Structure 1
Amino acid sequence: MKMTRIFVAALAALGLSGIAWASTAGQREAEHFHWHNAGPFGTFDREAVQRGLQIYQEVCSSCHSLDLIHFRNLGEAGGPFESAEFPNANDNAIVMQIAAGYMIEDGPDDAGDMFERPGVPSDAFPSPFANPQQARGSNGGALPPDLSLIIKARHHGQDYVHSLLLGFNEEVPADVHVAPGKHYNPYFPGGVIAMAPPLFEGSVTYADGTEATMEQMSEDIVTFLTWASDPHMEARKQMGVMVLLYLFIFAILVYIAYRQIWAKVKH
């Protein structure tokens, strides 16, 4: 039983133990895309994660938080700005520059007052709103979800978010009523979503010169959010491979021992 649990854990680490769930009623099935990080040996496309971070900063961060990600995660092993020159992510120059671009509320100071300071690598990405009530008030009553685990929290994960981002130009069916301030998207449960289309051709100017098409931007932000939901995915998969290799070798040794023991037993 213990070996079975270890084997299942190894499969999970490799991403091979997915469970198929039924589609949500009234929701079009997400389109399937090929992802660089898919499969037991898949890895993150670092450049795509970096571009996705740029989209989050310039487009998504005005409404959506990223509460579970700290700036230092960007420079840690498996992160988009991992560097052999800066093994300590807190010393990573790029990470420090990104963090310093945010103003973080801190305190209280000696006078008991809160104050703002430039961010440091140990800080988490700041939320665009002070509380859920403010977030709802700024978004017509809808609460923008935190994006830290959005890929893991949605059925079909990457495929769903990618399809959703590209699904705003669909024609509204005659039997679907879209209230003022709402938008039709066939990949969202019920077909009506409060979020306006977040991406348009050329929404961002990529620092690396990549053409900012809708498909490219959607793929990049989804890749970044996938990394954010599982920053240690690559290390986990490597561990899974090592565990399966160990179990394979162990099984061979057990079989050899079995043959040696029973070879001496007379029939």
Structure 2
Amino acid sequence: MLSLLAATAATSEPIQWAELGLRPYLFEIGSFQLRYYSLAYLFGILFAYWHLSKMIKSPGAPMAQRHADDLFFYCTLGVIIGGRLGYAVFYRPDLLTSVELFKLWGGGMSFHGGVIGVLLAITWVAWRGGLNWLRICDYIAVNVPLAYMLGRIANFINGELYGRPVEGDLPWAMVFPGGGDIARHPSQLYQAGLEGLLLGILLIALFWKTRARYRAGLLVGLFTVGMGVGRFVNEFFREPDAHLANRVVETGLSQGQWLSIPMIAVGVIVLVYSLLRQPVGGAKSEPKPQTT
């Protein structure tokens, strides 16, 4: 694949996705396929659990390991159920009255719906344990971007959710099987890099290298703004869903961009709230881990 990319970059011809040797599954046994999209969810959730367990061992943690275990279970449900219901509500309302809603293997998950599902899961765990809801959101938010990155990479491997047609020459423009004989932006990789890798590195660095975790709401506020802005920008390169193409024509913005605007606004409000409040435990002392 690398040799094909290098050879194509040296010419003016777009990269043919079909010639990269990609397939949507790791292996298959009979009719069963272990698909990369499923693995992306699995490894993303496992990474989040592992890193969260490591984070709460540092000073000032707002929860104990038992709370992290509960969050692992309920947030997983929130991602799956919220992601699927969000896709139906925001993008495919017809699914709400169809059995197709339950066919998760057919694709169709909403990031914004997944966020709502996770927030409900955090609310439940925080209420049951008497925990600080906003600080738990901080700890969860740090782990989301890298898991999100895996999902977008899986989208690229599947050859789905590709970008808009390229204007002019672009060395990494690609022709996707479902997009006709047109060179397009590999927008899945843009999202994986900007909303996933870059934002994830920033949040992890702020958590471990600064005292950001002591300001309730700072990390989740940055995550919300960063994800919203990243999604808004990348939507200019992503091909809108066919059944929502008129939304772009009528309003100039895609459905994903309209959903990102309130997300950015909420993130800014949370950031301002965080910066106006005193850090947890004071500016000089190290807070003790919360165990109840």
Question: What TM-score does the superposition give when structure 1 sets the normalisation length?
Answer: 0.23
Structure with more of its chain in helix, by fraction: 2
Larger Rg: 1
Question: What TM-score does the superposition give when structure 2 sets the normalisation length?
Answer: 0.21
